[in-house]
Amino acid sequence: MSQPVKIAIAGANGRMGRAVAQALEGRADAVVAARFERPGVEGAGLVAREAALAAAEAVIDFTLPEASVALAEEAAANGGPALVIGSTGFSDEQLARIDALAKTIPIVRSGNYSLGVNMLMGLVRQAAAALPAQDWDIEVFEAHHKRKIDAPSGTALMLGEAAAEGRGVTLSEVADRGRDGVTGPRRDGDIGFSVVRGGGIIGEHSVIFAGESESLTLSHSAIDRGLFARGAIAAAVWVKGKPPGLYDMQDVLGFKK
């Protein structure tokens, strides 16, 4: 039997950091090698980021975009370890930086580590390809807890990208991410986004295909935050030993041919 993958947890005291640690308990294929927070925060079982990187074969990171970029830069400068990034809200510049660093180390980056959501992406892509834009409007709805700081969510944007890919268009050219006041009629082919923030909602995502006489809704509900942690751990186990490159959960789950 192979040795368990040594995993470091970034943002270890955060909600997702704690969920990852809990999900690792009792596993035979992966263990916690180190826990760390932002630079300067140590003690109570935490170590410095440099020590965590030295101890790990993979790092699971659900923090903030700027922290994820800094982590990727340090890991790339050291030649490893591999990274599993679940942070969302990246700017185009930050994404480009992570893409560049993935030429040096393997990085899995996904807006959602759920098996169900990744299945949903495939269904959305197929539906968007089959239902013509002039007859079917697409709206991506998402709801999260009140502490989430970015909108639309990374998962909503992934679903929007899947719909755009199905229609052979670029999401940035057809996305409608805000409506207020007298906006005029909806344009054919637009992919709209609707956002709710409140309470402790873990994650609700729906993609509505609305025609004149019927509508189709594809949806996913997260019941337990642990499902994202378990998906990230699966990604960390999978990415060990992979060559440098930028991967996502479609790669991890074998959905890409």
Residue type, 128: A
Residues acting as catalytic residues: 144, 148
pLDDT(1) > 60: no
Can you tell me which residue has the tokens 């660093």?
101
CA distance 171 to 220: 21
Q: Point out which residues pair with 34 in neighbouring strands.
A: 8
| pLDDT average, residue stretch 112-124 | 91
CB-based contacts of 212: which residues, under 8 Å, 6+ apart? 135
Region(s) of the chain under CATH 3.30.360.10:
115-221
Q: Quickly state the pLDDT bin for 113 (edges 50, 70, 90).
A: very high
CA distance 254 to 21: 25
Q: Is the pTM of this model over 0.85?
A: no
Region(s) of the chain under CATH 3.40.50.720:
5-113+225-252
pLDDT of 211: 98
Closest CA to 230 of 1, 2, 26: 26
pLDDT in tens, 30-41: 999 999 998 878
pLDDT(44) > 90: no
pLDDT in tens, 3-22: 999 999 999 999 999 999 99
CATH class of 115-221: alpha beta
pLDDT in tens, 137-186: 999 999 999 999 999 998 999 999 999 999 999 999 999 998 889 989 99
| pLDDT average, residue stretch 192-221 | 97
pLDDT of 256: 72
CA distance 64 to 37: 11
Kindly compute the dihedral angle of the four CA atoms of residues 200, 59, 251, 115, in this order, to the nearest 10 degrees. -30
pLDDT of 63: 96
Indicate the CATH number for domain 5-113+225-252. Answer: 3.40.50.720
